[in-house]
Structure 1
Amino acid sequence: MSTTATTRLQAPRRQPDPRGHWFLVLTGLLLMTGALVLNGYATNAVGETHAAPAASADEDLAGVDRGGPLVNLTGKGSQSARVPAKTVALTFDDGPDPVWTPKLLDVLKRHGAKATFFAVGARVAENPDLARRIVAEGHELGNHTYAHADLTGVSAWRLRLEVSLTQKVIAGATGFQTRLVRLPYSSTPESVTGPQVAAMRELGSAGYLVALADLDTKDWSKPGVDKIVKAGIPSQGRGAVIMMHDSGGDRAQTVAALDRLLTRLDRDGYRATTLTLALGLGSAYLPAGGFDRVTGSALSDAQRVSAAFTLTLSWVLAIAGVLTLARLLFFLVLAWLHVRRARRGRRRAGAAPPWPAPPAVSVIVPAYNEEVGIEATIRSLVNTAYRGPVEVIVVDDGSSDATAERATGLGLPQVRVLRQPNGGKPAALNTGIAHASHEILIMVDGDTVFQPDTIGHLIEPLRDPGVGAVSGNTKVGNRRGMLGRWQHIEYVIGFNLDRRAFDLLGCMPTVPGAIGAFRRTALAQVGGLSVDTLAEDTDLTMAICRAGWRVVYEEKALAWTEAPTSIGQLWRQRYRWCYGTLQAMWKHRRAAVERGTFGRRGLGYLTLFQVLLPLLAPVVDVMAVYSVLVGDPLPVVAVWAGFVLVQALAGWYALRVDRERASVLWVLPLQQFVYRQLMYFVVIQSVVTAVLGVRLRWQTIRREGTFS
């Protein structure tokens, strides 16, 4: 390719970056948060539990204590009713349960008995068919709050919300509402406390009849079938309201005890019926309005969706954690094997024959507005310890600053400076390749500095005729500040540690633009660099791998590069990298079905760990916060601390083999709260940009002149 031909390359018109998708991302996060909050509320894991209702008057407490198990506090004072002799009102709390409630209903049907089920609203929402079966078989539904909340420890608005939501889901399931309510954690009249009476007064003012019990079987404690039966038998032929449970754990003892209890009561001439029938009251049901029925059905659907969603997210969190940890440990093992192989001084294909003489090398430096750093880059290339001939070709790609003048002004005989209108980095590199004189080509970014021995180490693997490209070891030069340290850790752990593994697996996805050596034959076979993607280095590497060449990593070939110094600059750089990588993956997608290791291993790895898992990263963070807020935070903190510890150990090893100080690891825990989120939002932005078909413009970053 000639310089004249290159000058006809024009920068394509770019569409603006999409912005509206952030609204969709925010909406998705809000919906996810809403689903988690609803599920947490339904499981009584979130909500206000501190402000208690005002204490009840002493006369109310005394009236309830001396009265019967059905309490009416709708007016002044308290009224109560007792079940007549030889009659029992069987009551079951905490259901309906998909396992135990049907078994209890079957027992009741065999004995021709009826009962009252004080249902938890959240359980009705999960099992509306069971609520309908209870009503259809002649039993009675009562209100037991929505989330089984202790109503003595909530504010008045939460109390009203608990019973109101339960009424709505009962209406949605059955078309009725109920006048009966039972406080969670209540029992017999004599055990009622002042705060419970205050809550009962609040419910009475809303028109509810409050149910207590004469006999509490305490079946929830699983005392044994005999003790449950004994606790449920009234003495001396009296009537009684019997409390049992159809949910909240293993209720096998309750099912067995109910069968024996009903047999005993039937033998003793008792009638087992619902609470209102036992007391001779009218129906507990009131017809529900259309709005309440629709609202209840919608709430029931929403809760089931939220429960399934939360369960799915929990699995996603677990799978993501396992995959991330497995990847880290697997790559550590591969890195250790790579270090051992490097120390033995031989590569997988065996020792290659030595060169008769150090081969000539052409170094190509594409430069666009690199005025502040180009001199340092050129001097590092010229002042090399490599003994073979080295030519340096600087291609000024239409810079608007004094890049070309600075490069020319050095007056170095082995340095040529070519100028062309701006056509992009691939075009500049192709221009340099066309003017290069030698078979071995090195590509270097205009902000990168080589060490004196870098060129010699970098081209050493090319002695093997099967090697088409070599990746060097990129280092962050400007490590001051938190952002610089974070990028330094990322380069050592996330890039160079991975490249050791890719080298062993034979699926190197990227030879970085900062430092890479290529065989001209391999470049010619793939047609040089393409302008199809914004990640020309990844695109080129994938093409070389697909052509059958090996791409290897040389850890001793060090290159110092300037990392972005602000969040905005870092975002633009990584946005381009990620978007370009997605383009290259799509372009080379057929490699997945071709022979060779790159497609199956390299593309599979990139898809899983650099696209899918980062897309799921917000889910991991939201679920972690949710688990801390609604449950015991210690397991979450312990898992996080353990994960950071494993990362720190991996980082220590990576820094050690790269001959870097491990003291920088103190910033690793902080990296989880800012840098990690920035990186996965970059992936989200890039994926959405690619899906929408928007052509991203080249993202340039400002150079600081770190090495000048």
Structure 2
Amino acid sequence: MSLIALLGALLVQGYVRHLSSIGDDALPASADAGRVPETLLNGGPVVDARNGGLQTTAPPAKTIALTFDDGPDPRWTPGILDILKKHGAHATFFVVGTEAIDHPDLVRRIVADGNEIGVHTLTHVDLGTAPPWRRALELRTSGAILAGITGRSPTLLRPPYSSENSALTDSGYDAIRTAADAGYLTVLSSIDSQDWQRPGVEAIVRNATPRADAGQVLLMHDAGGDRSETVTALDRVLDVYSSRGVRVTSVGDALHLNTMPAVSLIDQVRGAVVEWGIRLSGLVVTALGWALLASGVVTVIRAVLVLAFAARHRRAAVRKAAAGRPWGFTPGPVTVIVPAYNESAGIEAAVRSIALSEHPVEIIVVDDGSTDATADLVEALDLEAVRLIRKENGGKPSALNAGIAAASHELVVMVDGDTVFQPDTVGRLIQPFSDRTVGAVSGNTKIANRGGILGAWQHIEYVVGFNLDRRLFDVAECMPTVPGAIGGFRKSALARVGGVSNDTLAEDTDLTMALCRDGWRVVYQDDALAWTEAPASLGALWKQRYRWCYGTLQAMWKHRAALGQGGQAGKLGRRGILYLLVLQVLLPLLAPVVDVFTIYGLIFLDPVHISLLWLGFLAVQVLMAAYAFRIDGESLKPLWTLPLQQVVYRQLMYLVVIRSLATAVTGIHLKWHRMERYGSLSVPPPRS
């Protein structure tokens, strides 16, 4: 609903601010006038075509109906009003609806000074060339706005770009008929001061001075450009009229017409609603502009931070590798826990791959009440290092805690049942435990089924989004998540935090944050690889990410006290949690808005500049991705899908965040969403 309201606001602003403009008037190109009646071509400048009739009239002799178009303007209109008051004269101001919205006080002053208000459309559109729907919208909306501002309903209209009767074309005549159907009298002009051409004060005075005593409608402008010549000339013109005994007044007063009847309270409120709707839509667009700027700044800052920290993390890893043997820490056997619920599609590959580990392992498979052949398949493997625990279904945290309780060794590795290890994965994963302050280690998760465009998009996300962020978190000592697919832990550290909690749907994030708050360091080992299955359909992807995001929000809320703590807890709170809040919650909330504003800019603003901004944003993404792929040793080929990822995949991830946040705010309980398994895993060969 918010997005629909936003689109509405953008459409309103795009229409009223960018489809037409006010400038120096110019007559339209000549066109066929075969349908314009002779009585109109040769008649008076005030045209009444209501009720199917056609009558024209003009002010009486020695009377000038003074009119101003295109205002109000905050610079020129007040000066004109001051001169009119000085000479005791009045005029009709044909105002543009958008300008009236911007300067309502000026509109009210025009009326308060005894002048008359007329309609000059909403956006200064040429009614003669506008389609019927737009003619109706322009007239109805501008009339409502003026009624809301003044409490009066204007009945006079001057079509933009109109002039004298003799210049009418068939399209102009159609516009007069449309205006008449809406209840308007059309006011053309019989004398054009041509002030819109800025010919000089003397020329304006000369053009505005009639050569006879016949009544006239004089056309001048109080907006649409530099009207300093108009203001100066008006004072002199009124002196000339006074010396000749010419009466200067408004159209309605000259013809003894009530052209501004009062409106009902309901109509005034309706007009005010239209006015404020357009005004608020303008505020929305302004806010979006600032949001676009803010998101751009945050995106650039994130790119700089992530790349800088990733480079630092990479240099540290290279130095460690150069200092000695890659496997310098050999603490003895490690317990690998595999929680499994209906994992028959991939459990054999997962267990076999772990059993082939070069480092000694004890494998504990915890079957959490599977209803398929998961447990039987594990037993049939008949592997010496594998122990199977069968239990009633209690959820993943329950299965992990059962495995932890049965673990024989201090170092514990947790791995999902849809994940396979390389032979050196365990040995590499446990290397950081040589530091006694390290309580957990995150491995590097890779997408196994990366074929197809959806697989490529997820592959990019894992390499760029997840692993670059983990390098930053490692250097900043604020790792918020050790993924369930591959994580190493000290059993004693797990015992101190009470094991794996079932308070959230992101048990891995909850556990990691609990370890940080207990004072343990959590690090990232980028060369410890695990291959996992990714969702193969948008529906499955939605369910997985919805659970992840909602669970992360739960964990952030649960551990919010870390924001005010010291030590490792404070680093988690003021670095990790705030990073997640800004980059994974607030920025995704703004991102769809920014995308919508980009489309708005392409349609209504400068498409070249907007396109360059978008391409600049894409270039930042490509550079980040290329660097992430290079340090991860990945082929750059999948990056051809990155532009499409920005258009489709990114939007899906944003919607996941929005829905997750809405679910959290409304207090709805989200159930566990188990991912589909595809059986695409195989035991990877040793690393070359």
Relative to the length of structure 2, the TM-score reads 0.89
1:663 to 637, 658, 662: 637
- Determine if the alignment matches structure 1 residue 417 to structure 2 residue 391: no
CA change 1:264–1:316 in 2 (3 A) is farther
Q: 1:433 & 1:445 partners in 2: Cα distance?
A: 14
Check conservation: 1:45, 1:631, Cα contact below 8 A.
no
CA change 1:247–1:693 in 2 (3 A) is same
Instruction: Report the Cα offset of residue 384 of structure 1.
Output: 1.8
Partner of 1:693: 667
Q: 1:619 & 1:658 partners in 2: Cα distance?
A: 33
Instruction: Report the Cα offset of residue 220 of structure 1.
Output: 4.9
CA change 1:207–1:599 in 2 (3 A) is closer
Partner of 1:163: 139
- Determine if the alignment matches structure 1 residue 472 to structure 2 residue 451: no
**Cα shift readout 1:393-438 (whole Å, capped 9, x = no counterpart):** 1111111122222222222222211121111111211121112122
User: Does 247-256 or 209-218 show the bigger shift?
Assistant: 247-256
Partner of 1:431: 402
Q: Which amino acid aligns with 1:490?
A: E
- Determine if the alignment matches structure 1 residue 312 to structure 2 residue 287: yes
**Cα shift readout 1:254-287 (whole Å, capped 9, x = no counterpart):** 555545655666577655432333x343332233
Partner of 2:162: 186
Check conservation: 1:353, 1:463, Cα contact below 8 A.
no
Q: 1:266 & 1:331 partners in 2: Cα distance?
A: 76
Check conservation: 1:486, 1:671, Cα contact below 8 A.
yes
Q: 1:346 & 1:560 partners in 2: Cα distance?
A: 23
Check conservation: 1:44, 1:149, Cα contact below 8 A.
no
Partner of 1:132: 108
Check conservation: 2:337, 2:403, Cα contact below 8 A.
yes
- Determine if the alignment matches structure 1 residue 616 to structure 2 residue 590: yes
Check conservation: 1:37, 1:46, Cα contact below 8 A.
no
Partner of 1:113: 89
**Cα shift readout 1:92-111 (whole Å, capped 9, x = no counterpart):** 22233455434443443344
What pairs up with 1:11-22 in 2 under 5 angstroms?
none
CA change 1:37–1:46 in 2 (3 A) is farther
**Cα shift readout 1:448-498 (whole Å, capped 9, x = no counterpart):** 111112112211122122222111111000011221111111111111111
1:34 to 8, 16, 23: 8
CA change 1:221–1:540 in 2 (3 A) is farther
- Determine if the alignment matches structure 1 residue 243 to structure 2 residue 219: yes
Instruction: Report the Cα offset of residue 125 of structure 1.
Output: 4.1
User: Does 698-707 or 406-415 show the bigger shift?
Assistant: 406-415
Q: 1:487 & 1:517 partners in 2: Cα distance?
A: 24
User: Does 170-179 or 468-477 show the bigger shift?
Assistant: 170-179
CA change 1:175–1:659 in 2 (3 A) is same
Q: 1:139 & 1:312 partners in 2: Cα distance?
A: 37
Partner of 1:92: 68
CA change 1:533–1:157 in 2 (3 A) is closer
Q: 1:505 & 1:249 partners in 2: Cα distance?
A: 57
Q: Which amino acid aligns with 1:666?
A: W
Partner of 1:498: 469
Q: CA RMSD in A?
A: 3.1
Check conservation: 2:35, 2:170, Cα contact below 8 A.
no
Q: 1:681 & 1:539 partners in 2: Cα distance?
A: 23
Q: 1:682 & 1:234 partners in 2: Cα distance?
A: 71
Aligned length: 670
Q: Which amino acid aligns with 2:36?
A: D
Instruction: Report the Cα offset of residue 551 of structure 1.
Output: 1.5
Partner of 1:379: 352
User: Does 572-581 or 163-172 show the bigger shift?
Assistant: 163-172
**Cα shift readout 1:224-252 (whole Å, capped 9, x = no counterpart):** 66665665455678865443333445655
What pairs up with 1:246-265 in 2 under 5 angstroms?
246-248=222-224, 251=227, 254-255=230-231, 258=234, 262=238
Check conservation: 1:542, 1:588, Cα contact below 8 A.
yes
Q: 2:227 & 2:590 partners in 1: Cα distance?
A: 39
User: Does 211-220 or 141-150 show the bigger shift?
Assistant: 211-220
CA change 1:118–1:469 in 2 (3 A) is same
**Cα shift readout 1:48-68 (whole Å, capped 9, x = no counterpart):** xxxx9xx87537365555444
User: Does 676-685 or 636-645 show the bigger shift?
Assistant: 636-645
Relative to the length of structure 1, the TM-score reads 0.87
- Determine if the alignment matches structure 1 residue 573 to structure 2 residue 544: yes
**Cα shift readout 1:41-91 (whole Å, capped 9, x = no counterpart):** 3336399xxxx9xx8753736555544443444465653425644x54332
Instruction: Report the Cα offset of residue 166 of structure 1.
Output: 2.2
Check conservation: 1:377, 1:448, Cα contact below 8 A.
yes
Partner of 2:272: 297
Check conservation: 1:475, 1:488, Cα contact below 8 A.
yes
Check conservation: 1:35, 1:310, Cα contact below 8 A.
yes
What pairs up with 1:341-420 in 2 under 5 angstroms?
341-345=316-320, 357-386=330-359, 389-420=360-391
1:583 to 533, 551, 554: 554
- Determine if the alignment matches structure 1 residue 332 to structure 2 residue 310: no
Check conservation: 2:58, 2:215, Cα contact below 8 A.
no
Q: 1:567 & 1:31 partners in 2: Cα distance?
A: 27
Q: 1:181 & 1:669 partners in 2: Cα distance?
A: 50
Unaligned residue ranges in structure 2 (runs of 5+): 22-27, 683-688
- Determine if the alignment matches structure 1 residue 563 to structure 2 residue 534: yes
2:58 to 81, 92, 98: 81
2:617 to 643, 648, 653: 643
SS at match of 1:176: coil
Check conservation: 2:14, 2:604, Cα contact below 8 A.
yes
Partner of 1:203: 179
Partner of 1:153: 129
User: Does 469-478 or 160-169 show the bigger shift?
Assistant: 160-169
User: Does 652-661 or 357-366 show the bigger shift?
Assistant: 357-366
SS at match of 2:128: helix
CA change 1:351–1:162 in 2 (3 A) is same
SS at match of 2:220: strand
Instruction: Report the Cα offset of residue 511 of structure 1.
Output: 0.8
Percent identity of the aligned residues?
53
Partner of 1:553: 524
Q: 2:226 & 2:574 partners in 1: Cα distance?
A: 48
Q: 1:223 & 1:601 partners in 2: Cα distance?
A: 65
CA change 1:459–1:69 in 2 (3 A) is same
Q: 2:198 & 2:575 partners in 1: Cα distance?
A: 55
**Cα shift readout 1:109-147 (whole Å, capped 9, x = no counterpart):** 344332211012333344444333221210100111122
Q: Which amino acid aligns with 1:92?
A: F
Check conservation: 2:33, 2:169, Cα contact below 8 A.
no
